[in-house]
Amino acid sequence: MAVTLRQIAEMAGVSRGTVDRVINNRGHVNEEVETRIRRIAEELGYQPNTVGRALAKAKNELKIGVLIQSVETPTMQTVAQGAEEAANALRAQGTEVIIRRLESLGEQKELDVIDELVAEGIKGLALAPSDEPQVCAHLNRIIDQGIPVVTFNGDAPKSRRLCFVGMDNRRGGQTAAGLVRAMLPQGGKVLPLSAHPNNHGHRLRYTSFAEEMEKIAPNVQVLPLQHCFNRDDYAYELTLRAFEENPDLSVIYVTAHGQHGACRAIEKAGLFGKVRVIAYDLTPQNRIDLAEDRIEFILDQNAAVQGRAPLHILQNYLLSGEAPPHENMFTDILIKTKYNI
């Protein structure tokens, strides 16, 4: 007899809906609960068959394209691993998945790869886009051709994409502001470092942070935003320059990558233990810097889910017309310290 979602739910002590969200990679489930559900499903030998039946009825070959940018960064490498895991699962069910990777963010390269994927006959597209008007307009043109789009990690909110999968970056910035207020009750200075100015998520992490700081901690001065383009060497130089101009600098807030370069600059300036860092994503290097007190807090966003979920969302939509339950499928914001990694 086939194993049912209800049986898994009873053994895991959760609702059937929670199991359904885990099995179909829809997010909004505690990481520990998700791990327990997947373990039980594997032990029971659960095999979903609805997708297989739908694929058998499909008149045309189902092909999904994936575009992952900034793959040189540890976070996007984790996203890419999640996408590969989902691609392997979909390929086993008969869906073809084409994954393209780009280093950094480049508008023209992005547009070229989108066109290449469309020319290869994709029926759906998942991508981590840059938030440029030309890119949004291009996405809307392929959506008009009947190709649904799901964005992940970075968003293009002015496009008519089906949904976004990733961190609620506004909440992320506000969370960071709350942590800084607790760290600097008597006030101080904060240096914000970001990556690319055309990344919607990175920009939102900064603007929401700055706005919230003005509301809740007017005695904390947020210095002008600096862009390091995800490069540790740039972040290193920018941080050293900030120390020269602001010897009383207290906190560095990094919205993307470059935090290890900032940590090295703190040590170079002899300020280890005096200047603290808040950053994003529990990457291997961030784990080390967190454990060794170079970083105070990490805001993690469950990057692997951001790679997996969009492919399953697109497959469900293309096969059954099942739209995602929300326009924004936010992953959890997890606050990590050296005590809980």
Q: What does the pLDDT read at residue 59?
A: 44
Q: Residues 147-172, buried b or exposed e (16+ Cβ, 10 A)?
A: bbbbbbbbbbeebebbbbbbbbbbeb
User: CATH code at 269?
Assistant: 3.40.50.2300
Q: Could you give the C-alpha distances from 121 to 62, 96, 97, 194, 247, in angstroms and in order?
A: 9, 10, 11, 36, 57
Dihedral, CA of residue 162, residue 38, residue 288 and residue 210, to nearest 10 = 30
Q: What does the pLDDT read at residue 51?
A: 52
Mean pLDDT of all residues in 84-104: 93
Helix, strand and coil in the chain, % to nearest 5? 50, 15, 35
Q: In the predicted model, is pLDDT for residue 60 greater than 90? A: no
State the chain's mean pLDDT as an integer.
91
Does 193 reside within a domain?
A: yes
Amino acid at 51: V
Q: How many domains does the chain have?
A: 2
Q: In the predicted model, is pLDDT for residue 217 greater than 60? A: yes
Does 115 reside within a domain?
A: no
Quick one: what percent of the chain has pLDDT higher than 90?
Answer: 73
Does 321 reside within a domain?
A: no
Mean pLDDT of all residues in 237-248: 97
63-68 β-sheet, strand order? 96-101, 63-68, 124-127, 149-152, 163-167, 328-331
Q: In the predicted model, is pLDDT for residue 208 greater than 70? A: yes
Does 257 reside within a domain?
A: yes
Does 17 reside within a domain?
A: yes
User: CATH code at 9?
Assistant: 1.10.260.40
Does 197 reside within a domain?
A: yes
Residue 47 or residue 182, greater confidence: 182
Q: Point out the least confidently predicted range of 50-54, 78-82, 92-96, 236-240.
A: 50-54
Q: What does the pLDDT read at residue 47?
A: 77
DSSP state string for 148-204: -EEEESS--TTS--SEEEEE-HHHHHHHHHHHHHHH-TT-EEEEEEES-TT-HHHHH
Amino acid at 125: L
Does 70 reside within a domain?
A: no
Does 234 reside within a domain?
A: yes
Determine contact, residues 326/101, Cβ cutoff 8 Å.
no
> Among the ranges 54-58, 60-64, 66-70, which has the highest mean pLDDT value?
66-70
Q: In the predicted model, is pLDDT for residue 61 greater than 80? A: no
Q: Point out the least confidently predicted range of 36-50, 54-68, 282-296.
A: 54-68
191-200: per-residue pLDDT in tens? 999 988 888 8
112-130: per-residue pLDDT in tens? 999 999 999 999 999 999 8
| Phi-psi map region of 302: left, alpha, beta (phi>0 left; psi -120 to 50 alpha) | left
Q: What does the pLDDT read at residue 49?
A: 57
Banded model confidence at residue 31, pLDDT cuts 50, 70, 90: confident
**CA 315/CA 56 separation, integer angstroms:** 13
Q: In the predicted model, is pLDDT for residue 48 greater than 80? A: no
Residue range of the domain that includes 285: 169-300
Mean pLDDT of all residues in 212-218: 97
